[in-house]
Amino acid sequence: MPIIISHQDFTQTNDRIFVSVPLHGVRANKADIYANDSYLKINFPPFFYEADLLHLVDTKNSEANVGDGCVKFSLKKSRRLDAVKRELERIEQEKKEKAIKKREEHYKLIQEQLNVEQAEKAQVESLRLQEKLQAEVQLASIIPHLKCFSEQEGIQTWKNQLKNKKTLEDSGIDSTIFVSSKNTADVVNDEDEDYIDMKAIEEKVQKELDKMKIASKPNPRQSGTINFQFTSRGLLPTATARETEDAKWVHRINQAWEKDAKARVDNLYDSLKDDEKNQYVAIFLKDKGNAFFKTGNIQAAINAYTAALMLDKNLTVCFMNRAVCHLKVEDYLACIYDCSAALEILTTEHAYLQERDALTALERQHELNSSKVKLFVRRAAASTKMGNYVDAARDYKIAVELDPKSVDLKEDLQNLEKMILENKFCEM
Amino acid sequence: MADALKKPQIIVLETKSLNYTPYDVKWIPCSARFVVLGQYARGTGAVAVYELEQGRAVLVKEIEKPHAIKCGTFGASTLEERHLATGDFEGNLNVYDLERPDVPVFSTKAHDLIINCIDGCGGVGIQTGPPEIATGSRDGTVKVWDVRQKDKPVAVISPAEGEQRRDAWTVAFGNSFNNEERVLSAGYENGDLKMFDLKTMSLLWETNTRNGICCAEFDRKDIQMNKMVVTSVESSFQVFDLRTRHPTYGFTALSTKNKDNTTIWTVKHLPQNRDIFVTSSGSGSLNFEGKLKQNTSKNQTKNLCSKYPGNRVKQDPKDKLNVGVVGTVELLNNATLAEQPISAFDWSPDKLGLCVFSAFDQQIRVAIVTKLA
């Protein structure tokens, strides 16, 4: 039977309870202490102490000290803390509820707005649908009416209506014609018997009536022509305005081109400047020469080629073309000179190419041969014109060697040789 | 909202997608059929006849012609015959019987260049005067043909020698109230509007609106000339009062501009009420203009209707001659029905408010306009 201790020292502060239980000889390992948030117990055989607390305590922040003949509890009051906590919680809860309520109200409002708008729309839609149905019904009722109208009966009734109108209008005219025919019939009447006259009268009347029916549409109008003039104003839209604008634009472009051309021409003879530029200019001049040749302006072509060659001495094409020009103006010596120069350049270039790149040299062989043939032929032509048949024959021989397939060359060569023999014969 | 429902509403009954480009649509008179004229992608002409059955347009016949067809009219043929006169891209004028469309009833090479516009008078609905077809072409000439006289036009209206040619974009007949009188007005691409009197074969009146004239129409062909609406590029159109002609000022005009700044392609007067007309614009919208019995004058949607003024004639103070007074034009309703320009429009002459129109989006639409009575 435990000895129950009922005496303790109890003090409290604002947030702590101090209970001191006197237990003689108490030691930590011998005493069982239990505390929960409203109950204390000490079991120290044979002693036993328990206490119910009026309010809750926070056992986490509490401690019990055993020793020195007593057990001292230092308990943290939890009532206030808990109360504060609870209060906070309550407030938060209230807030949340308020928020939820607010949202719900808002949502309800929006829903209601939507409903109202939908109702309005539905109303308009229904009205519109009604109208549409009405219109369709009306249409459906009319269409069969229209359909039957397009059939013969409809047209017949329409025609009859027309006729009735017409007869009302033209009845005056009708009657007069009838009267006139009657008059002529009267004249006939005197000559023949009665019933034949009646028939004649009837026929005449019928004819007149038919004429009336056919001539329901007036004859085509007299032809005529009407001439007029369009108004001419400054601010006419589209076509004219665009034309003048285009003309202005083209004029501007031409001016700019000419200015640019002048600038280019000024830089032409400045051969001390870039080599590349010179090349471009030379090519330009060669093209100019070609153009002049095509239009027939041979002297200009010669000048152009000369200018080109001044800039670039190795333009074979210029030599070749200039040779042709010289032929045309019958300047045979110059032609021979040009052909020779061209041939020289061609051979040297080809030799260079063979050294560097044998493959391309092979590919270019055919081109080279054809150019050479041309040049030889030209030189031969010039020589023949000058009377120098021997040189001509020599050139032709080379040409034939280069181009064995051409029949013309062989023919020309034969002719030449014939002429040489003849000449020799003459000289002799 | 309820106010808006009192105005004329346009209800699209049927939209049909085509595999050719439609250039013109016309109702076949006294029937529930309409014909569409256009061009296939391969450059040949398309003539298609559709029939309205229970609110749907059903294809009845589709014919291919050697050249693309630009315009057509039933105006010069009688009700029994209902021949369609067409102008094509090569300048040929062909008149077809739609029951046997293989061979034309009448054919002539009217112009060297494309026939831009065609109009017929003296046929269906217009009982006075000889039946005539007017064609206007890119070569600047307007020729008047009679089907009974082959190869030789009744009238040739051309610019004088040496004049630069301007495209004729539109032709319209009018003032055909007896067998002799008839007036032909032609609109050109430089804004010239010229009115020719076919009885005296002379130029009656001319003027220049600043923009090229896309379409001109008299309010009625078979009455003494009363009113003409002329539409042009840059969304402006003019209403001319043709009852009074001042020797210097000519006819008075009221000029109106649409807000959307696109070409106004066509104008068509309602056959049953000559004071209501519709203009179709390059933004794909139709504007109804006219005069209603009730007064709906609020400006929520634009409403146009022409109102006659109290006094149609007033005196010019300077020379004491009569000058016409045009009156006002009021917008009744407008509706945007396509994304592309609506290039052709036709009212049905039989059912009030029924119309068909085609747009450059290769679709034709049949619609009905309510509350036009």
Write the pLDDT tens digit of every residue in A197-239: 787 788 888 877 765 555 467 788 888 888 888 877 555 555 5
Which B positions 80-109 lie with beta carbon below 8 A of chain A? 80
- Let me know if A297 is exposed, middle or buried by CB neighbors in 10 A (0-12, 13-18, 19+): middle
User: Confidence class of residue B246 from pLDDT cuts 50, 70 and 90?
Assistant: confident
**Per-residue pLDDT, B73:** 95
> Position of tokens 């569409």?
B36
**Residue B26 to residue B33: CA distance in whole angstroms:** 9
Per-residue model confidence as pLDDT tens digits over A310-326: 888 888 888 999 999 99
**Per-residue pLDDT, A211:** 59
**Considering chain A, what is the average pLDDT of its residues?**
79
Residues of A in contact with B153 (CB under 8 A): 223
Per-residue model confidence as pLDDT tens digits over B88-103: 999 999 999 999 989 9
∠ Cα A72 A75 A81 (to 5°): 170
Closest by Cβ to A224, choosing from B9, B132, B201: B201
Per-residue model confidence as pLDDT tens digits over B314-334: 666 666 677 777 778 888 888
Per-residue model confidence as pLDDT tens digits over A324-374: 999 888 888 899 999 999 998 888 888 888 888 777 778 888 888 888 888
Closest chain A residue to B205, measured at CA: A228
User: Confidence class of residue B305 from pLDDT cuts 50, 70 and 90?
Assistant: low
Edge-to-edge strands of the sheet including A57-67? A9-12, A16-22, A70-77, A57-67
- Let me know if A205 is exposed, middle or buried by CB neighbors in 10 A (0-12, 13-18, 19+): middle
User: Confidence class of residue A147 from pLDDT cuts 50, 70 and 90?
Assistant: low
Is B335's Cβ below 8 Å from some Cβ in A? Answer: no
Residue B87, classed as helix, strand or coil, is strand
Q: Cα torsion for A178, A184, A185, A190, to the nearest 10°?
A: 150
Task: Note whether B323 and B309 are within 8 A (CB).
Answer: no
Residue B298 has pLDDT above 60, yes or no: no
Residues of B in contact with A120 (CB under 8 A): 1
* Secondary structure letter of residue A98 according to DSSP: H
- Terminus-to-terminus CA distance in chain A, angstroms? 181
**Per-residue pLDDT, B97:** 93
| Most confident segment among A53-67, A239-253, B332-346 | B332-346
Is A215's Cβ below 8 Å from some Cβ in B? Answer: no
Rounded to a whole number, what is the largest CA-CA distance in chain B? Answer: 62
Residue A49 has pLDDT above 60, yes or no: yes
Residue B297 has pLDDT above 80, yes or no: no
Full-prediction pTM beyond 0.80?
no
Is B208's Cβ below 8 Å from some Cβ in A? Answer: yes
Residue A247 has pLDDT above 70, yes or no: yes
Q: What is the DSSP string of B139-195?
A: TS-EEEE-TTS-SS-SEEEEEPTTPPP--EEEEEEE---SSS--EEEEEETTSEEEE
What is the average pLDDT across A286-301?
90
Fold of the domain spanning B7-369 = Methylamine Dehydrogenase; Chain H (2.130.10)
Edge-to-edge strands of the sheet including B33-39? B21-27, B33-39, B45-53, B56-65
**Residue B87 to residue B45: CA distance in whole angstroms:** 11
Closest chain B residue to A146, measured at CA: B31
Q: How far is A168 from chain B (nearest CA, A)?
A: 15
Is B198's Cβ below 8 Å from some Cβ in A? Answer: yes
Is A124's Cβ below 8 Å from some Cβ in B? Answer: yes
Is B151's Cβ below 8 Å from some Cβ in A? Answer: no
Is B178's Cβ below 8 Å from some Cβ in A? Answer: no
Closest chain A residue to B141, measured at CA: A227
Positive or negative, the Cα torsion across A321, A323, A326, A328? negative
| A228–B160 CB contact, under 8 Å | yes
Share of chain B above pLDDT 70, in %: 90
| B351–A219 CB contact, under 8 Å | no
User: Confidence class of residue A165 from pLDDT cuts 50, 70 and 90?
Assistant: low
Q: How far is A115 from chain B (nearest CA, A)?
A: 18
Q: How far is A157 from chain B (nearest CA, A)?
A: 12
- Read off the tokens for A80: 């206030």
- The CB-side HSE value for B74 (13 A sphere, CA atoms) comes to 26
| Most confident segment among A170-174, A397-401, B12-16 | B12-16
Share of chain A above pLDDT 70, in %: 79
- Let me know if A263 is exposed, middle or buried by CB neighbors in 10 A (0-12, 13-18, 19+): exposed
| A225–B368 CB contact, under 8 Å | no
The H-assigned helical ranges of A151-193 are 152-191
Closest by Cβ to A221, choosing from B192, B198, B203: B198
**A24 phi, psi to nearest 5 deg:** -70, 125
User: Which site among B79, B83, B352 would you substitute to test the A interface, given the most A Cβ atoms closer than 10 Å to its Cβ?
Assistant: B79
Task: Note whether B230 and B255 are within 8 A (CB).
Answer: no
Closest by Cβ to B159, choosing from A131, A219, A228: A228
Residue A260, classed as helix, strand or coil, is helix
**Per-residue pLDDT, A25:** 83
Closest by Cβ to B192, choosing from A150, A224, A231: A231
Residues of B in contact with A146 (CB under 8 A): 30-32, 350-351
Is A213's Cβ below 8 Å from some Cβ in B? Answer: no
Taking each helix axis from N to C terminus, what angle separates A316-328 and A298-311, rounded to the nearest 10 degrees?
150
Residue-wise burial string across A44-74, b where 16 or more C-beta atoms lie within 10 A, e elsewhere: beebebebebeebbbbeebebebeeebbbbe
- Let me know if A385 is exposed, middle or buried by CB neighbors in 10 A (0-12, 13-18, 19+): middle
**Per-residue pLDDT, A220:** 81
**Residue A213 to residue A177: CA distance in whole angstroms:** 13
Closest by Cβ to B79, choosing from A127, A132, A155: A155
User: Confidence class of residue B26 from pLDDT cuts 50, 70 and 90?
Assistant: very high
Closest chain A residue to B349, measured at CA: A146
Is B34's Cβ below 8 Å from some Cβ in A? Answer: no
Edge-to-edge strands of the sheet including B168-174? B168-174, B183-188, B192-197, B202-208
Size of interface A-B (CB pairs under 8 A): 136
Closest by Cβ to B130, choosing from A135, A219, A235: A219
User: Confidence class of residue B74 from pLDDT cuts 50, 70 and 90?
Assistant: very high
Residue-wise burial string across B11-23, b where 16 or more C-beta atoms lie within 10 A, e elsewhere: bebeebebebbbb
**Per-residue pLDDT, A152:** 53
**A75 phi, psi to nearest 5 deg:** -110, 135
**Residue B208 to residue B284: CA distance in whole angstroms:** 27
**Per-residue pLDDT, B59:** 94
Residues of A in contact with B52 (CB under 8 A): 139, 143
